[in-house]
């Protein structure tokens, strides 16, 4: 069920070339997404309603969910679910409050530069639907935006095929997180509506949230018109690193739980112990056979499940850094000793009591994470994704005198005479 790989003895570029990589979105998704975005940009709400009927199977009168439905949902959900959502919201908010930055001022030789941190005015959030409801993703995207000081938060969620409504628990989470607007729109068309605006949905300044390959491609396609947070937040990924001390059941279920998200993800178990590889591979097969979603998980593991045997912990970390997974679990003895070797992983979970599922729901950091290898250059969703820096430069006479000749020299070297002259004119008045 997990594809076995023997990577012992491989190093450097040889190791990188040997590892299987996720298949990039081909021409078909890109072409389909471009067609959808063009329709939304041209025809607005009319296109949204037609596309929702085509892809989600329901015909809506309006994409907007009535604001009162959020409050009603909060009162209607199971009290235990509400308590869990509120507990998660508290931890997520507490974590993100540590990321709030004030501006700072720096003065050097008569030149003062003040850095102002300003929130974006309007954020668009995307939360998947279809296979399941994801109230946790509402909290993980809306709370950082709200902590950042974003004034307006719009949320797009695919409607249920049967009812045409957004799941009650998702609306309840939106109420807890302080979402302003909810729209029953999914897929690439939702990304287009947020990026370009329609009659019902005002355009936003930044889009955040995970989705399938069509959503991820759409975010790439609109990135010239809107900010896109957390790089390529697509299908789920995990690397679990274990050894002879690893509880086999823990490792096996942690591999399976990421495959549970859908067919396009990638899961790895990596070990320098042949016995651990054998035991975990066997246990994964046993657990999947007993799962109510066995067929879907088997398909996901067949396409993107791997068990790699390596020489030692250092090579295990080298493999993990090449894969650059969304989640990295160090489920081995002395996991803290491997943390300094982590280079490419936005979320790392150390030890047997730190499954990635804790991070998915309640640890505090956002579970919206870069996937598809983009952890090489991208981070988890943070408050900073909803803010921008503004630099205010004030130059006094002494500071001007100190740098004027340098500016003239550099501007002249670049052939920008007006730049140089803007300084010479002022020098003449000194």
Write the DSSP assignment of 308-368 as a string of letters.
Answer: EE-SSHHHHHHHHHHH--SEEEEESSSGGGTGGG--S-SEEEESTT--HHHHHHTSSS-S-
Q: Is 406 a catalytic residue?
A: no
Of the two residues 154 and 129, the one the predictor is more confident about is 154
Is it the case that residue 293 has pLDDT exceeding 70?
A: yes
Give the residue-averaged pLDDT of 293-317: 92
Sequential DSSP letters for 208-270: E----HHHHHHHHHTTTTSEE-SS---S-EEEEEE-TTS-HHHHHHHHHHHHTT-TT-EEEEE
382 domain residue, yes or no: no
What is the distance, to the nearest Å, from the Cα of residue 232 to the centroid of all Cα atoms in its chain? 7
385 domain residue, yes or no: no
Give the residue-averaged pLDDT of 244-263: 88
Q: Are strands 152-156 and 122-126 parallel, antiparallel or unpaired?
A: parallel
Both 186 and 97 in one domain: the answer is: yes
Both 43 and 62 in one domain: the answer is: yes
Give the residue-averaged pLDDT of 265-269: 91
pLDDT of 230? 66
Q: Is 419 a catalytic residue?
A: no
Q: Which of 211, 229, 247 is the last residue of a domain?
A: 229
Both 7 and 52 in one domain: the answer is: no
94 domain residue, yes or no: yes
373 domain residue, yes or no: no
Do residues 212 and 371 lie in contact, with contact meaning Cβ atoms separated by under 8 Å? no
pLDDT of 29? 87
pLDDT of 22? 63
Both 71 and 193 in one domain: the answer is: yes
CATH number of the domain enclosing 131: 3.40.50.1980
CA distances from 39 to 33, 34, 51, 285, 356 (A): 10, 9, 9, 44, 39
Both 192 and 306 in one domain: the answer is: no
Domain residue limits at 417: 396-428
Confidence of residue 291 (pLDDT cuts 50, 70, 90): confident
| Greatest Cα-to-Cα distance within the chain, rounded to the nearest angstrom | 84
pTM more than 0.75: yes
Q: Which residues pair with 390 in a beta bridge?
A: 116
pLDDT of 288? 93
113 domain residue, yes or no: no
Both 125 and 191 in one domain: the answer is: yes
pLDDT, tens only, 318-344: 999 999 999 999 999 999 999 999 999
Question: For residues 390 and 115, what is the distance between their CA atoms, to the nearest angstrom?
Answer: 6
pLDDT, tens only, 14-62: 998 999 876 655 667 899 999 999 999 999 999 999 999 999 999 999 9
pLDDT of 253? 96
Both 221 and 242 in one domain: the answer is: no
Confidence of residue 262 (pLDDT cuts 50, 70, 90): low
Which two three-digit tokens encode residue 164?
């045409």
Closest CA to 127 of 117, 118, 115, 139: 139
328 domain residue, yes or no: yes
Both 131 and 49 in one domain: the answer is: yes
Mean pLDDT of the chain: 93
Lowest mean pLDDT, pick from 36-40, 74-78, 295-299, 325-329: 295-299
Give the residue-averaged pLDDT of 258-273: 84
Question: For residues 291 and 256, what is the distance between their CA atoms, to the nearest angstrom?
Answer: 10
Both 147 and 168 in one domain: the answer is: yes
Both 16 and 73 in one domain: the answer is: no
Of the two residues 258 and 56, the one the predictor is more confident about is 56
| Cα angle 362, 368, 373; round to 5 | 130
Question: For residues 225 and 247, what is the distance between their CA atoms, to the nearest angstrom?
Answer: 48
Residues 6+ apart with CB under 8 A from 416: none
Give the active site residue among 326, 391, 406, 414. Answer: 326
Q: How far apart are the first and last CA of the chain?
A: 78
pLDDT of 24? 56
Do residues 307 and 313 lie in contact, with contact meaning Cβ atoms separated by under 8 Å? no
Q: Which helix (H) or strand (E) holds 271?
A: strand 266-271
Closest CA to 143 of 99, 197, 191: 99
Edge to edge, the sheet with strand 3-6 lists 3-6, 305-309, 266-271, 237-242, 327-331, 347-350
pLDDT, tens only, 198-238: 999 999 999 999 988 899 899 999 999 999 986 566 678 99
Domain total of the chain: 3
Cβ-based neighbour number of residue 98 at 10 Å = 9
Residue 16 burial class via C-beta count within 10 angstroms: exposed 0-12, middle 13-18, buried 19 and up:
middle
Both 217 and 95 in one domain: the answer is: yes
Which two three-digit tokens encode residue 179?
């979402």
pLDDT of 198? 97
Q: Which of 183, 205, 229 is the last residue of a domain?
A: 229
Which two three-digit tokens encode residue 285?
């097969």
pLDDT of 258? 78
Q: Which of 229, 258, 291 is the last residue of a domain?
A: 229
Residues 6+ apart with CB under 8 A from 134: 127, 128, 170
pLDDT of 371? 86
Residues 6+ apart with CB under 8 A from 1: 281, 284, 285, 288, 298, 301, 302, 305
111 domain residue, yes or no: no
Residues 6+ apart with CB under 8 A from 3: 20, 305, 306, 307
| Cα angle 138, 65, 81; round to 5 | 40
Both 161 and 58 in one domain: the answer is: yes
Q: Which residues pair with 4 in a beta bridge?
A: 307
388 domain residue, yes or no: no
Give the active site residue among 95, 96, 327, 367. Answer: 327
């Amino acid at each position: 069920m997990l594809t076995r790989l023997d990577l012992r003895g491989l190093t450097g570029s040889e190791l990188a070339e040997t590892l299987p990589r996720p298949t990039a979105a081909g021409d078909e998704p890109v072409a389909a997404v471009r067609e959808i975005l063009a329709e939304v940009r041209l025809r607005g709400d009319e296109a949204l309603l037609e596309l929702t009927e085509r892809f989600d199977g329901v015909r809506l009168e309006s994409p907007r969910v009535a604001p009162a439905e959020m409050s009603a949902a909060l009162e209607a959900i199971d009290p235990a679910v509400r308590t869990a959502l509120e507990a998660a919201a508290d931890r997520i908010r507490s974590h993100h409050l540590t990321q709030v930055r004030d501006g700072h001022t720096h003065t050097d030789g008569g030149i003062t530069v003040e850095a102002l941190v300003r929130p974006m005015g309007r954020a668009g959030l995307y939360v998947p639907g279809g296979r399941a409801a994801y109230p946790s993703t509402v909290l993980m995207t809306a709370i950082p935006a709200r902590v950042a000081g974003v004034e307006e938060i719009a949320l797009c969620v695919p409607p249920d095929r049967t009812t045409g409504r957004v799941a009650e628990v998702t609306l309840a989470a939106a109420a807890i997180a302080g979402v302003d607007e909810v729209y029953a729109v999914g897929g690439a068309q939702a990304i287009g509506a947020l990026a370009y605006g329609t009659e019902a949905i005002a355009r936003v300044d930044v889009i955040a949230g995970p989705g399938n390959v069509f959503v991820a491609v759409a975010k790439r396609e609109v990135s010239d018109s809107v900010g896109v947070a957390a790089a390529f937040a697509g299908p789920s990924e995990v690397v679990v690193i274990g050894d002879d001390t690893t509880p086999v059941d823990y490792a096996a279920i942690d591999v399976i739980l990421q495959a549970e998200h859908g067919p396009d993800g990638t899961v790895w178990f990596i070990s320098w112990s042949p016995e651990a590889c054998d035991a975990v591979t066997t246990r994964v097969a046993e657990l999947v056979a007993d799962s109510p979603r066995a067929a879907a998980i088997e398909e996901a593991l067949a396409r993107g499940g791997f068990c790699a045997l390596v020489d030692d912990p250092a090579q295990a970390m080298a493999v993990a850094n090449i894969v650059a997974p969304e989640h990295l679990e160090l489920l081995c003895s002395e996991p803290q000793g491997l943390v300094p070797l982590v280079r490419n992983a936005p979320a790392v979970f150390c030890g047997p009591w730190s499954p990635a599922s804790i991070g998915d729901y309640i640890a505090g950091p956002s579970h919206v994470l870069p996937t598809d290898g983009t952890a090489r250059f991208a981070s988890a969703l943070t408050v900073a994704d909803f803010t921008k820096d503004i630099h205010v430069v004030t130059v006094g006479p002494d500071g001007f005198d100190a740098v004027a000749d340098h500016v003239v020299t550099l501007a002249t070297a670049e052939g920008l005479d007006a730049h140089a002259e803007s300084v010479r004119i002022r020098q003449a008045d000194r």
